[in-house]
Amino acid sequence: MHKVAIVGRPNVGKSSLFNRLVGRREAVVADFPGVTRDAKEGTMLYQNHRITLIDTGGLWSGDEWEQAIREKAEWAMEGSQAVIFVLDPREGLSAADYEVAEWLRRLGKPVILIANKIDSVTHNSYLAELWGLGFGEPLPVSAEHARGLDDLMDRVLEYLPEDTEDIPDIAPIRISFIGRPNVGKSSLLNALTQSERVIVADQPGTTRDSVDVEWDYAGQRFVLVDTAGIRKRPDTAIEDFAMQRSQTAIERSDVIWLVVNADEIGDHELKLANLAYESGKPVIVVVNKWDLIPDEDLKLTEKELNQKLFHIQYAPRVFTSAVNEYGIHEMLAEAMKLYDKWKARVPTAELNRWLGVWLMKQRVPNFQGRNLRMYFMTQVETAPPTFAIFCNREDYVTRAYEGFLMNRIREDLDLAGIPVKLKWKQKGAFNKKGGDDDDDQADKKKKPTHHREPSKAESVKAAKAAASGEKPERKSRAERRDPAEKKVRPERPRSARSRANES
């Protein structure tokens, strides 16, 4: 795969150009410098070339992140075939621009000089000063208005070899790290990939955007996503936007690693776990910094964790330490196991056998003497597993009975830790407009009983008898019978001998 890095000093529009080229808003963009810190990758297709663009942080920023950002930019250019050097000529060349230019000359990479924020032809006069950097003709580009992008990509293709690489057909497993700020998400990612891929610092809020890291392990492709720490209430607009990007990463992921501190767990972790679980993703609770707990307090700490995480007891737990790499392989093995279950499909015959077992274990709900009837069960979707049960009346299903079935599905079908969805489908006569269920139809088949209304004379006579205290005359059964109910007995057919005798 071809790689092209985008570099430059802070606030020249590198992230805006990156978003415009990949065709989506991948990187965080703001009007002030220092937003991007880690190297962020994005894939684009141009004239049958699959190119990986790498957006880097602002070089020679003069702040505490300057050295870390430069190291990540050097990593981005190690495997790059070309480098896009972005400048803002409207502000003139600064000392930082000359420093970046000298640094690029020492690295010896092919450099494409870009003059960003050139919105019209009248701004081309700003390009004259850029010739002095020694990288040839600068290209006028406007990332905001998509001006000059085709000329830029044609220049990039001059440095790329023929694209003969086969794209793997197997889709990678996408796993995201989520959690509070400063719980060790970036440290775990670096320990897992055995690299210094993302910036790690003791200061909370180091990661400001979601960073995708492609990684191969034992023949399986992964995309590990390091997200920004999610606070209860963001302090700045950048944190608010980073939190939205983290939620987007949850929706795009296959498995979620919820990273928590062993001694710092509250309601916020429960909300994050429910957010991931409701999106249909399996969640693994990664208890990080386990090496900081003294040996004599391990059992007590684990007991307290069980109490605090009781509401998300469905999620498996892995105890890790990014410092000594304890529990790293268990974390990955648990994610692969849940992913296989999340994508699995259960045969319909097996589901209906289990449905018969569940019907014998628990009595079905009933309404006014009419029972819920379940005809058959099938799996309609995967990732997450979604099951449909066809029944006579959907409104007869109670919340308690549905919870019973959900528990049986997770335990008997080996789907523990997997978000499961259950749908009810009405089947039969009641599902039709104005129809009834089977019990209602059985009631209608019963012969109705006719009651004859008493005549006016009978009513007056009964009232006088009640006033005088006399008992009313008791009629015989034949007299009380309604003439309309009397059956006319059909004439019995006569034999030939009886008809001959009569004649």
Residue 179 annotated as part of some ligand binding site: yes
Residue 148 annotated as part of some ligand binding site: no
Helix/strand/coil for 259:
strand
Residue 180 annotated as part of some ligand binding site: yes
Residue 10 annotated as part of some ligand binding site: yes
Do the beta carbons of residue 281 and residue 254 sit within 8 Å? Answer: yes
Residue 131 annotated as part of some ligand binding site: no
Do the beta carbons of residue 260 and residue 183 sit within 8 Å? Answer: yes
Query: How many C-beta atoms surround the C-beta of residue 70 within 10 A?
Result: 18
Sequence-distant (6+) residues with CB within 8 A of 129 are: 89, 92, 93
Residue 56 annotated as part of some ligand binding site: yes
Residue 432 annotated as part of some ligand binding site: no
Please give the C-alpha separations between residue 85 and each of 98, 216, 283, in angstroms, as whole numbers: 12, 30, 41
Residue 13 annotated as part of some ligand binding site: yes
Do the beta carbons of residue 283 and residue 177 sit within 8 Å? Answer: no
Q: Give the torsion through C-alpha atoms of 76, 82, 87, 93, to 10 deg.
A: 100
Residue 229 annotated as part of some ligand binding site: yes
At 265, the amino acid letter reads: I
Residue 40 annotated as part of some ligand binding site: no
Residue 228 annotated as part of some ligand binding site: yes
User: What is d(CA 372, CA 390) in angstroms, rounded to the nearest whole number?
Assistant: 11
**Judging by beta carbons within 10 Å of its beta carbon (0-12, 13-18, 19+), is residue 486 exposed, middle or buried?**
exposed
Residue 435 annotated as part of some ligand binding site: no
Do the beta carbons of residue 364 and residue 374 sit within 8 Å? Answer: yes
Residue 301 annotated as part of some ligand binding site: no
Residue 181 annotated as part of some ligand binding site: yes
Residue 183 annotated as part of some ligand binding site: yes
At 350, the amino acid letter reads: E
Radius of gyration, CA atoms only, the chain: 38
User: What is d(CA 226, CA 206) in angstroms, rounded to the nearest whole number?
Assistant: 11
Q: Are strands 370-371 and 366-367 parallel, antiparallel or unpaired?
A: antiparallel
Helix/strand/coil for 69:
helix
Residue 205 annotated as part of some ligand binding site: no
Token pair recorded at residue 352: 């209906």
Token pair recorded at residue 470: 């006399």
User: What is d(CA 59, CA 128) in angstroms, rounded to the nearest whole number?
Assistant: 23
Residue 293 annotated as part of some ligand binding site: no
The sign of the torsion formed by the CA atoms of 55, 185, 249, 257 equals positive
Residue 300 annotated as part of some ligand binding site: no
Alpha helices per DSSP H over 79-227: 95-107, 149-157, 185-193
Residue 116 annotated as part of some ligand binding site: yes
**DSSP state at residue 142:** B
Residue 230 annotated as part of some ligand binding site: yes
**DSSP state at residue 477:** H
Residue 185 annotated as part of some ligand binding site: yes
Residue 288 annotated as part of some ligand binding site: yes
End-to-end Cα spacing for the chain:
114
| Chain centre to alpha carbon of residue 202 | 30
Instruction: Please report how many Cα atoms fall inside a 13 Å half-sphere around the Cα of residue 341, on the Cβ side.
Output: 22
Per the annotation, binding residues for GTP are 8-15, 55-59, 116-119, 179-186, 226-230, 288-291
Per the annotation, binding residues are 8-15, 55-59, 116-119, 179-186, 226-230, 288-291
